[in-house]
């Protein structure tokens, strides 16, 4: 199962707006994706409640895992999204 480890760039971590953007992208990917912090169990990356329950602050590393035919592409896209400050206005 492919994985990616990335530091969360959003100033507020994975809370509110950044979590919403991330979980929507995970849900839209069509691939089963999980997210985990060091030492915690992986949770469904498409669930905003589960992602927010991780309490990921700015700069903390998370590990994404996916299973499916496009897993590598999806993980690359989601990792790039987390490496972006999603708190900034477009």
The two three-digit tokens of residue 60, written as one number:
């903390």
Catalytic-role residue among 4, 6, 15, 23? 15
Sign of the C-alpha dihedral computed for residues 76, 22, 4 and 75 taken in this order: negative
Q: Is 15 marked active-site?
A: yes
Task: Give percent helix, percent strand, percent coil of the chain, each to the nearest 5.
Answer: 35, 20, 45
Cite the active site residues. 15
């Amino acid at each position: 199962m492919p994985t990616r480890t990335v530091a969360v760039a959003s100033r507020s971590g994975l809370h509110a707006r950044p979590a919403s953007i991330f979980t929507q992208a995970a849900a839209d990917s069509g691939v089963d994706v999980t997210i985990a912090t060091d030492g915690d169990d992986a949770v469904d990356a498409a669930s905003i409640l589960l992602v927010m329950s991780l309490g990921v602050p700015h700069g903390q590393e998370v590990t994404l895992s996916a299973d499916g035919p496009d897993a590598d592409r999806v993980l690359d896209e989601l990792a790039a999204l987390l490496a972006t400050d999603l708190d900034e206005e477009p």
